C-alpha cells in the first residue's frame, strides 16, 4: 500500500465493503445458493421423511417392506420432486436458470441437459424401487410368489427371520 489513506480519505486499516455494498453474513442452514435442492442432503432428507409418512399412511402393507428399498424410493422421490418443481418453474418463467452463455434464463431451452438427465435417472430409480416393493399388481404378485416360495422351501429359518425383522421394525417405531 502506498499510504495510510485511501483515495476516498478513509484509513487503510478499516475494512470496507467494495463499492459500499454490504450483505448479511450467511448463516448455517441458509438457502442462498440452492437452485432446486436435489443435491442438498438436508432438504432431501426432510422431503423424504414426508414422502415416507405419506406412503405408510396410504399403503399399510409397507410396514413389512424392505427398509433399504423404501429409503431409496423416498429419497429418489424427494429429489425427483425438487427437480420437477425447478424445471417447471424455469419453463413457466417463475424461476431463472443459472446463467449460461448463449441460452435464455427461462423457457424450456434454459433447463440444462444435466438437469434433464438427473430427472430421468430419478424417475428410473423410482420405477425400479416401486417394482421391488410391489406397487403394481404384477410386481405385487411376483413379490407374494417369491415370499411364499421362500417360506415353503426355506423352512422354519426364513419364517423366523421374517418374524424377527417384523419385531425389530415394530420396536423401532
pLDDT mean values, one per 10 residues, the chain (173 residues): 69 65 72 80 93 90 85 96 94 87 88 94 95 84 73 67 83 80
Inter-CA distances, 61 with 84, 105, 166, 173, Å: 28, 45, 12, 15
Element (H, E) at 134: none
Pairwise CA distance, residues 49 & 46, whole Å? 5
> With 0-12 CB in 10 A as exposed, 13-18 as middle and 19+ as buried, what is 131?
middle
| Residue 58 grid coordinates | 396410504
Q: What's residue 45's pLDDT?
A: 93
Q: What's residue 3's pLDDT?
A: 62
Q: What is the pLDDT of residues 96-113, one digit of tens each?
A: 888 888 888 889 999 999
**Do 82 and 47 touch, CB atoms closer than 8 A?**
yes
**Do 151 and 158 touch, CB atoms closer than 8 A?**
yes
Q: What is the pLDDT of residues 119-136, one digit of tens each?
A: 999 999 999 999 988 888
Q: What's residue 1's pLDDT?
A: 47
Q: What's residue 19's pLDDT?
A: 66
Question: Euclidean distance between the first and final Cα of the chain, in Å?
Answer: 65
Pairwise CA distance, residues 131 & 41, whole Å? 25
Q: If you search the block for the grid coordinates 406412503, which residue do you land on?
A: 55
Residue 139 has a CB neighbour count (10 Å cut-off) of 14
Q: What's residue 98's pLDDT?
A: 82
> Looking at the DSSP assignment, which residues form a beta bridge with residue 5?
11
- Sequence length of the chain is 173
Amino acid at each position: 500500500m502506498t499510504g495510510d489513506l485511501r483515495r476516498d480519505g478513509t484509513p487503510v486499516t478499516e475494512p470496507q465493503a467494495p463499492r459500499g455494498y454490504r450483505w448479511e453474513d450467511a448463516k448455517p442452514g441458509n438457502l442462498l445458493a440452492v437452485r432446486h435442492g436435489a443435491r442438498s442432503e438436508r432438504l432431501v432428507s426432510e422431503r423424504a421423511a414426508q414422502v415416507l409418512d405419506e406412503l405408510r399412511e396410504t399403503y399399510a402393507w409397507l410396514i413389512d417392506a424392505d427398509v433399504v428399498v423404501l429409503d431409496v424410493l423416498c429419497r429418489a422421490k424427494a429429489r425427483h420432486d425438487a427437480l420437477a418443481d425447478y424445471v417447471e418453474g424455469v419453463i413457466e418463467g417463475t424461476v431463472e436458470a443459472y446463467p449460461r452463455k448463449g441460452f435464455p434464463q427461462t423457457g424450456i431451452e434454459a433447463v440444462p441437459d444435466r438437469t434433464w438427465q438427473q430427472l430421468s435417472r430419478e424417475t428410473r430409480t423410482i420405477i425400479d424401487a416401486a417394482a421391488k416393493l410391489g406397487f403394481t399388481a404384477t410386481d405385487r404378485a411376483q413379490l407374494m410368489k417369491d415370499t411364499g416360495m421362500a417360506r415353503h422351501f426355506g423352512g422354519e429359518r426364513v419364517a423366523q427371520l421374517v418374524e424377527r425383522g417384523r419385531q425389530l421394525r415394530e420396536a423401532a417405531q
